[in-house]
A and B are shown apart, each in its own frame.
Chain A
Amino acid sequence: MKDLKHFFPFSNKASNLIYFDSSATSLKVQEVIDAEMKFLSENGSNPYAIDYKKGFEAFELIKQARSLSKTFINANKIEEIVFTSGATHSINLLANGLRNNLKKNDEILLTELEHSANLLPWIAIANKTGAKIKKIALNHDFTINIESLKQMLNNKTKIVTFASVSNTIGALNDIKLITEVIKEFNNDIIVHVDAAQAIGHIKTDVQAWNIDFMSWSAHKMYGPFGVGCLYGKYDLLNTLEPIFYGGRMSLKIEENLVDYTLASIPEKLEAGTPNISGIVGYIAALNFINKIDLHEIEKHELELKEYFVKRVKETNLEDFITFYNLDVKSPIILFNVNGVNPQDITNYLDDKFNISVRGGASCARRIEGVINTKIAVRASFGIHNNKVEIDKLVEALKTVNNFLDVLF
């Protein structure tokens, strides 16, 4: 296992803290912090002020970020990349952008494992348009059940939206196969993949998968907060109605103050001044991932998961802890200490061992339909973690019955 910890200033400055919450957000690498600081201290111009050198430089950086993103996900054109404030913004942009394409009784298919960002925008738009939300059944390993999906597809199906990797269970869907089944039935059904949880961990390839849209956030790929992207196939992206109107997205406003002409994509969907310093940090994040290599990242994280599973078995933690996803091949662990509320455990691990994990519903509000509990503890590993930290977690878990030690 390679030592990747030194890339993260958090781990150097707070060496006694163990961060196991990469699913919520990844730690930031030095390159990202440096890039953002460099832009803010040496430039700071509006990227649309191209008449002077610094403004043009900022403009070029946006082009660079688009181009790097295109290559990173294997899109066809750079215009297919729209900058947003993150996956939540991207999915809202998509769901609301399709508002005129949806009518009463149209069907939107999704799973109960989706996090709120891939649930609420669809529920809200369904309520507005009279479309219906339908739940796709899952397999025992929490992946999408293809046979159930096939049964559900009909002439009312308009959209299928799902996470490539769920943020709680961590199940990895076979996106290519799922899309094949959908497109074989009807090529016009829109397939959207929420890649927020996957993009910094496994290779994404929108052309090989043949998906129509994909959403993600920079902050889950070692990058800054407040930056994300919506990918869309050129022609489909072009059909989206904007949800924000403002600077840079219009070409002309008529004197009658009624008519206007919008810019073409992607600018049409990017009203206002973008988070340019964040986008510069995002460039550094993409470069960092390319440098480390996604296969290396995936390998490192799976090794951590496998090691954790091995240690769980060795130490008989399953005698008093229910683990929900030890068999799932992603670096997320979901568990409950029998008879103890998750918040008591997360508080105990933090206070007594400086271990950061999450408790509760982890923004997947409908997970109870899948694992028969609304709440659980989630520990998610990242490339800054190592086996020594896993050992510390295992040792800490052995003592969880002392959770009231935080109060006495």
Chain B
Amino acid sequence: MIDINDDILLRKILMEHFTNPDNKGIKQLENAILKDAKSQTCADEMQIEILIENQTFKAINFEGTACSVATSSADIFFNLIKDKKLDEIKTIISEYQAFLNTGISNNLAILGDLVVFKNINKQKNRILCANLAIDVINEIIE
């Protein structure tokens, strides 16, 4: 588990997912669904490609233009939920959204690299960015 107090490391993780996202690029996978994540409050917009098999997220890709918080949260989250079952993902989302609002979690391990957003609660307007892609996944699960 990464050290949530190691700001230099957290910053590096966020920056890498922003500048060089692992899941960037729509692959036009067979049977995948395409969803748009478009912010109502700013110019952030993404297209997300999702392949679900046997109640499991097998692949998630995205492209679009968004800020560092929206881009990195999407990329980290997609890495985290890959090969996980829908109910497991539901638990992660619930923990993550509570964490965004408070910066506190009793289950940091489940959040993985999403802990880089520990201070988003001090930037209330950026909570929307940190949820942009996650909201789309949440809608699918629900």
Contacts and interface: CB of A to CB of B under 8 A. Distances in A.
Contact of A374 (B65, B67, B71): B65
Interface in A274-304: none
B67 A343 contact: yes
Given A341-B67, A344-B68, A375-B43, A406 B129 contact: no
Q: Is the interface of B mostly helix, strand, loop or mixed?
A: helix
B60 to A, nearest CB: 21
Contacts of B42: 343, 359-360
B75 to A, nearest CB: 14
A359 B67 CA distance: 10
Which bracket fits the contact residues of B?
20 to 34
B65 A341 contact: yes
Contact of A341 (B10, B68, B125): B68
A263 to B, nearest CB: 40
B43 A407 contact: no
A45 interface: no
A341 B46 CA distance: 14
A337 to B, nearest CB: 12
Interface in A343-359: 343-344, 347, 351, 359
Contacts of B117: 407
Interface in A299-354: 339-344, 347, 351
Given A351-B123, A404-B15, A408-B119, A342 B68 contact: no
A133 B91 CA distance: 50
B30 interface: no
Interface in B41-94: 42-44, 65-69, 71
B43 A374 contact: yes
Contacts of A375: 43, 65
A407 B42 CA distance: 19
A339 B14 contact: no
B100 interface: no
B27 interface: no
A374 B42 CA distance: 12
B128 to A, nearest CB: 10
A355 to B, nearest CB: 15
Given A404-B14, A404-B68, A343 B119 contact: no
Contacts of B11: 404, 407-408
Contact of B67 (A339, A344, A351, A408): A344
Nearest to A375: B43
Given A341-B68, A343-B67, A344-B67, A407 B120 contact: yes
A73 interface: no
Given A344-B68, A374-B65, A408 B10 contact: yes
A339 B68 CA distance: 10
Which bracket fits the contact residues of A?
10 to 19
Q: Which of A341, A359, A360, A374 has most chain B Cβ within 10 Å?
A: A341
Contacts of B44: 341, 343
A56 interface: no
B126 interface: yes
Contacts of B43: 342-343, 359-361, 374-375
A403 B68 CA distance: 10
Interface string B1-23: 00000010011001100010000
B125 to A, nearest CB: 7
B14 A407 contact: yes
Contacts of A408: 7, 10-11, 119
Contacts of A342: 43, 67
A344 B68 CA distance: 7
Given A361-B43, A404-B68, A343 B14 contact: no
Contacts of B119: 407-408
Q: Which of B68, B71, B129 has most chain A Cβ within 10 Å?
A: B68
Contacts of A374: 43, 65
Contacts of B69: 344, 407
Q: Which of A347, A351, A374, A407 has most chain B Cβ within 10 Å?
A: A407
B123 A339 contact: no
A359 B66 CA distance: 12
Nearest to A407: B119
27 contacts: A340-B68, A341-B44, A341-B68, A343-B42, A343-B44, A343-B129, A344-B67, A344-B68, A347-B125, A347-B126, A359-B42, A360-B43, A374-B43, A374-B65, A375-B43, A403-B68, A404-B11, A404-B15, A404-B68, A407-B11, A407-B69, A407-B119, A407-B120, A407-B126, A408-B7, A408-B10, A408-B119
Interface of A: 339-344, 347, 351, 359-361, 374-375, 403-404, 406-408
The 7 closest A-B pairs by CB, nearest first: A360-B43, A341-B67, A343-B67, A408-B7, A375-B43, A344-B68, A344-B67
Given A340-B68, A341-B65, A375-B65, 9 more contacts: A341-B68, A342-B67, A343-B43, A347-B126, A359-B42, A360-B42, A407-B123, A407-B126, A408-B7
